Amino acid sequence: MANPQDTALIEVRGLKKYFPITQGIIFQRKVADVKAVDGLNFAIKKGETLGLVGESGCGKSTTGRAILQLYRPTAGEVIFQGKDLVKLQGEELRKMRRNMQMIFQDPYASLNPRMTVGDIIGEPLEVHNIAKGKEKKERVQELLKIVGLNPYFVNRYPHEFSGGQRQRIGVARALAVQPDFIVCDEPISALDVSIQAQIINLLEELQTKFNLTYLFIAHDLSVVRHISDRIAVMYLGKIVELTDRNALYNNPLHPYTKALLSAVPIPDPVVEEKRERIILVGDVPSPVRPPSGCHFHTRCPLVMDKCKKDDPEFRNAGAEHWVACHAV
């Protein structure tokens, strides 16, 4: 495998996003932080799909938004095309957005209900001065065709479409500027199961066609396994394991990953019978006061004294299999 530094499209170093909790009306003072994302290090190679999984509230979506600077990170660096996005401001950052886009979870909430489909997909072309007038109209119709919609839909409004169709509109909007990198923030979890496969196939097709790089955020493990090249597992603001998808599913090292994977039903009654569930006890701790040491130690079946004191290092356990655990 080539050195990831050479082929990395995007590199995240020490990314943190804390949301302050404030009190007071005129003189606001910070009383605590919600540590949504608490120090992430990873790189995404050009043309690959990095899956990001974890349970609700672990900071997956915040990670996606912090990378795209939709939430300005509290600390860390996001190196994209040789520039640190965290340091970019105003117009410079706005221009960079041409190269990185996002597809959203809720196709009902992510399209402005007062704009026509043509205006929605044409807007990125307009604000980045890519196309105007007739050229813009043609480009929009072409984009509709690319995502499998009828180009005659340009003058319709989002409420006239189904969830799957709306998600295709969202995909067309993200593709309009011909980006290199797309954050897919749970793009299928709000869709019917029958539609999910269509959108997944569309995303895969587009990736091949336009050489796209995806950060694919999801909580559905089987979908992530299908679409991703590598997978990162998040727990309470930290990545606990990151490796090739087959290595992760066949040989999970972190106890949290093991527990997660043991929850996936196996579509074979004989094997399913023998599946051993690792049931985690307790709730996810609050990200306002995460546990000391390893964030997972309060629920870990392998917990040791060391876990309560020291935060485990995120290290390479061989063959680019990264894991943060004292017990491994």
Partner 1 sequence: MTQTRSPAGIDLPHRARSPQRRVVGRLLRNPPALIGLGVVAAMILCAIFAPQLAPYAYDAQDLSIARQAPSPAHWFGTDDLGRDMLSRIIWGARSAVFVIVMVMIVNLGLGVPLGAAAGYFGGWVETVVMRAADILFAFPGLLFVFFIAATIKPAILTWAREAGWRDLANSGYLDYAVVIIALGVIGWAGLARMVRAQVLAVKEREYVIGAQAIGVPTWKIIARHILPNALAPVIVALSMGLGDIALSEGYLSFLGIGLQPPAPSWGNILSDNAGRYWRMFPQMIWMVWIPGLILAAVVFAFNFLGDGLNEALNPELVD
Shortest approach of partner 1 to residue 89 CB, angstroms?
12
Question: Which one among 30, 83, 94, 209 touches partner 1, defined by CB under 8 A?
Answer: 94
Task: Print burial letters for 26-40: b (CB count within 10 Å at least 16), e (below 16).
Answer: eeeeeeebbbbbbbb
Element (H, E) at 163: helix 163-175
CA-to-CA separations, 282 to 34, 286, 303, 325, in angstroms, rounded: 20, 12, 14, 20
Structure tokens at 179: 């980006």
Write the interaction track for partner 1 spanning residues 111-140; mark x where CB under 8 A is met and - where it is not. Answer: xxxxxx------xx--xx------------
C-beta of 89 vs 194, nearer to partner 1? 89
**Interface region with partner 1, contact rule CB under 8 A, candidates 104-112, 196-204, 224-232, 268-276:** 104-112
Instruction: Compute how many residues bind partner 1; rule: CB under 8 A.
Output: 36
Alpha carbons 43 and 9: distance in angstroms, whole number: 7
For 98, counting Cβ atoms within 10 Å of its Cβ (0-12 exposed, 13-18 middle, 19+ buried), the class is: middle
CA atoms within 13 A on the CB side of 85: 27
- Report whether 212 contacts 180 (CB < 8 A): yes
CA torsion sign, 172 to 199 to 228 to 39?
A: positive
Tell me which of 16, 137, 156, 226 binds partner 1, using CB under 8 A.
Answer: 156
Is 187 one of the binding residues for partner 1 (CB under 8 A)? no
Q: How far is the CB of 111 from partner 1 (least distance, A)?
A: 6
Give the residue, chosen from 105, 167, 196, 228, that forms a contact with partner 1 under the rule CB under 8 A.
Answer: 105
Q: Judged by CB, which is closer to partner 1: 47, or 151?
A: 151
Complex with partner 1: residue 51 or 170, whichever CB lies closer:
170
Query: Which residue, 189 or 262, has its beta carbon nearer to partner 1?
Result: 189
Closer CB to partner 1, residue 25 or residue 281? 25
Q: Nearest approach, Cβ of 176 to partner 1 (angstroms)?
A: 8
**Which CB sits closer to partner 1, 97 or 225?**
97
Tell me if 101 contacts partner 1 by CB under 8 A. yes
Contact 231, 65 (CB under 8 A): no
Nearest CB to partner 1, comparing residues 44 and 183: 183
| DSSP characters over 63-95 | HHHHHTTSS--SEEEEEETTEEGGG--HHHHHH
What is the per-residue DSSP string for 199-260? HHHHHHHHHHHHT-EEEEE-S-HHHHHHH-SEEEEEETTEEEEEEEHHHHHHS--SHHHHHH
CA 3 and chain centroid, separation: 23
> Rule CB under 8 A: which of 30-89 touch partner 1?
65, 68, 70
- Kindly state the smallest distance separating residue 106's Cβ from partner 1, in Å: 6
Q: How many helices (H) and strands (E) does the chain have?
A: 12, 12
Q: Is 166 in the site for partner 1 (CB under 8 A)?
A: no
Interaction of residue 197 with partner 1, rule CB under 8 A: no
Q: Which stretch binds partner 1 (CB under 8 A): 147-155, 211-219, 307-315, 317-325?
A: 147-155
Q: Which residues pair with 45 in a beta bridge?
A: 8
For 71, other C-beta atoms within 10 Å of its C-beta total 17
- The distance of closest approach from Cβ of residue 112 to partner 1 in the complex, given in angstroms and rounded to an integer, is 4
Q: Which residues bind partner 1 (CB under 8 A)?
A: 26, 65, 68, 70, 94-98, 101-102, 104-106, 109-116, 123-124, 127-128, 150, 152, 155-157, 159-160, 170, 173, 177
